[in-house]
Amino acid sequence: MPAAASPAAVARNRAPASPAMVALDVTRAWAARTLRARYQQSAFGWAWAVVQPVAMVAIFTVVFTRFVRIETGGIPYVLFAYTATVPWTLLANAWADMAGSLVANLNLVTKIAFPRAALPAAALVARAVDFGIGMVLLLALVVAYGMPVTVQWLWVPVIVAVLVTFTLGLGLASSALNVFYRDVDPAIKLLTQLWFYASPIIYPTALVPDEWRWLYYANPVAGVIDALRDVLLLARAPGPELAAAAAMAVVALAAGYAFFRRVEGRLADVI
């Protein structure tokens, strides 16, 4: 731009920024706001990102190696549980945060026009940062326990993508539905508890009877966790359940986004 241009001339007579760019900008800014606000005045700061899964793993390890013995096929229970707890924490926390993201910011939704999907998306991004820290710690732990680093690790980004895609679809739909029906919040709390036991977090899928396996893998989280255990702990490629989870994730995102777009224009009227 010419140096002589006044600030006014710079800003004027330009087309409005593209909606996608605005959506990305808002998502980034809101995610940064969420993270800063979460950690700014806390003494432990970023440590909180890993405290929750680590604490869960600690208690599981005590209970399921000392009190109730669970057969993990020779994998140290700590590794076994932490591999599942990291993705599960992302899903559970992001789902809850995303579902509340529109309702909690109703002054924005009713007072400013911006791409509404940015709010649930930012809630996911903010949790994904915690997840990233958790994953780094997980990989370090796997190496520390002497597990071989194999070419199968290349699957990790794919598995993460499936999980994030699924969570995004679920969270988008839940955030919009929550605006219309506040039952969504308590329902999510309950479903999250049930879902925890329906996923192979504290026990291996091997304990699920063969004839129920197909139904068990209708839960994409089961597919994601088993795929992660396959590539990190068993040094083998993921089974077909990852493909099933990926297909469900794509459907969830498509349906969740379509639903969100459909009701987006009515959010400010109802909230």
Instruction: Tell me which residues touch other proteins (CB under 8 A).
Output: 7-8, 10-12, 14, 16-17, 21-22, 25-26, 28-30, 32-33, 36-37, 40-41, 105, 107-114, 180-183, 265-266, 268-271
State how far the Cα of 238 lies from the Cα of 155, in Å rounded to an integer.
8
Cβ atoms of 91 and 163 within 8 Å: the answer is: yes
User: What's the min distance (Å) between Cβ of 78 and other proteins?
Assistant: 36
Q: Based on CB atoms, which residue is closest to other proteins, 107 or 148?
A: 107
C-alpha–C-alpha distance, residues 106 and 228, integer Å: 38
> Exposure string (b/e) for 125-137, b if CB count within 10 Å is 16 or more?
bbbbbbbebbbeb
User: Which C-beta is closer to other proteins: that of 36 or that of 213?
Assistant: 36
State the nearest-atom distance from the C-beta of 178 to other proteins, in Å: 12
Q: Read off the DSSP letter of residue 234.
A: S
**Count of C-beta atoms within a 10 Å radius of residue 68:** 9
Check the CA dihedral 259-257-106-88 and report its sign. Answer: positive
Cα within 13 Å of Cα(261), Cβ side: 7
Backbone angles phi, psi at 115, to 5 degrees: -65, 110
Q: Which is nearer to other proteins, 44 or 67 (CB)?
A: 44
- For residue 108, the minimal CB distance to other proteins (Å) is 5
Q: Which residue, 99 or 244, has its beta carbon nearer to other proteins?
A: 99
Q: How far is the CB of 6 from other proteins (least distance, A)?
A: 10
75 CA to centre of own chain: 25
Select 34 or 199, whichever has its Cβ closest to other proteins. 34
* Smallest distance, other proteins to C-beta of residue 268, A: 5
Q: Where are the alpha helices (DSSP H) in 40-104?
A: 48-62, 77-104
Q: Quick one: the chain helix, strand, coil %, rounded to 5?
A: 75, 0, 25
Q: Among 159, 153, 127, 161, which residue's Cα sits nearest to residue 53?
A: 127
Comparing CB distances to other proteins, the nearer of 66 and 107 is 107
Question: Nearest approach, Cβ of 260 to other proteins (angstroms)?
Answer: 15
Would you say 24 or 158 has its CB closer to other proteins? 24
> Least Å distance between CB 219 and other proteins?
25
Residues 112 and 87: their CA atoms lie apart, in Å, by 34
Nearer to other proteins, 30 or 88 (CB): 30
The least CB distance from residue 186 to other proteins, in Å, is 11
